[in-house]
Structure 1
């Protein structure tokens, strides 16, 4: 598939200007906060469909409204968006860093089915960069030569670690960590400071999330080391040196970091409700806030990746809302889970 019109193929500057121009038009079609509020407060799943009718999701609504098959709706929107990104991106090696998440999710499901006897997945994501048969072969221990080394190494590491720690969380931790480090390395190789900072922040939030959950559940320091991902601003020594701090004082550890609110709000929620929803909410808030300056960049891959990431968050948000409506989750509980989009 041609990624750009031929007239732009030879001039790097023109290629980026064309792509960023298209992205600016797409950004105006992202759901605004008023629409998100309407979706959250909609009484039923059918009402959510009706509220989406006049948005960018209108065609997909029409195609799926008879059965309210929202997974198909979101799949159609994702496929259309990724095809467009492929057609305009002058830097596929960078956009691929984000799209690899679908391959990683597929590998997680396949590994859990093989190692833990979990039910074989009924369906896998078709949005990744690698054929599903090749992913299945990789998980079965076959050599797939063209796969990125980091992905094959991660699968091998899961195999080794599983023998000592047969825990589903280990599969998630190893694959998520491998993806995060590959994303950071890709941004560093491209010398894109904004993207480097974004992926470093993603690693840090992942580590803070794991640290907080492990401390609250009173698991060991060694278990945290299994989950720790290098490459962020916060080193492993930072976490190990503060391990003996009481749960109540955890917020103080992060007082001079970007993660203070993430930890404090999560601890407050845990003490009052016994849940840790705010860890994910604050993680998304930090990452989305970091992307906002990309709207002022007129040249380069940053606006394209910022749109891609934001759009995938939006699709994830709609899925969360639709699942909540299908299952009758109270509006107040749903509002807390998506409050990052009100900021």
Structure 2
């Protein structure tokens, strides 16, 4: 796959749905929060330009102000971090490809990624202790988590080769269960400590373990069967657009209803599945599979550019 194909697929997958939610949020703000439209519109510009994390950090590295903390688009910081990583990652691959020794490309790439991930983790630990918000939102302190996934991808062929020998499949099944258990525990415990910092190793490595357990067919035991259940898979397919919708839904509902009751907001979180389903059905899935768009990387890139332009343009018009 070429870089153009890679970016075109990401553009079709990520940007149209993200743009739809931003535009819908701006419309909702115009109706429900007219006095805050200008501030939310500036957040929309940052979200569309994939710099929401740095935009939030521009207000301070220790804590967010009241207005920013209650932005219905604040969660776009994570999408910005992801997109920024995927701008740099292919460049790293190309650099290593040019310098790799014959027959050692995978090993050299793993070494480079491991070094950069270690540096990012060290920065994460140090900076979270000194400025927790910077540690939370910065691409520099979050890159190691993507690096962990990249290292697993590089190691996957080796894991698959070894899993059938010497009880390897049983080990991977145990690793999968351990990862699931640690994820469940960390969902509760990590909130009590500065995050991400060193404590982020728990959910990150647990996720790596859970994914690793599914890289070998012989090791796909109970955890894989649970994750393969139809409701779980349906939630997985919907997770991206549901994530996009849940923060605008909760923030706007809290403002309109004048309550921060966890029961009410949980109900709103669950109701956010409705616009998520509509977006997935009418936007995400058709654009991912449409022959008209998918047949040409150029069209995919143009679609992404159009989605970005609409988001940024609408934000600038209302800012």
TM-score normalised according to structure 2 size:
0.31
Structure with the higher fraction of residues in helix conformation: 2
Structure with the bigger RCO (C-alpha within 8 Å, sep 6+) is 2
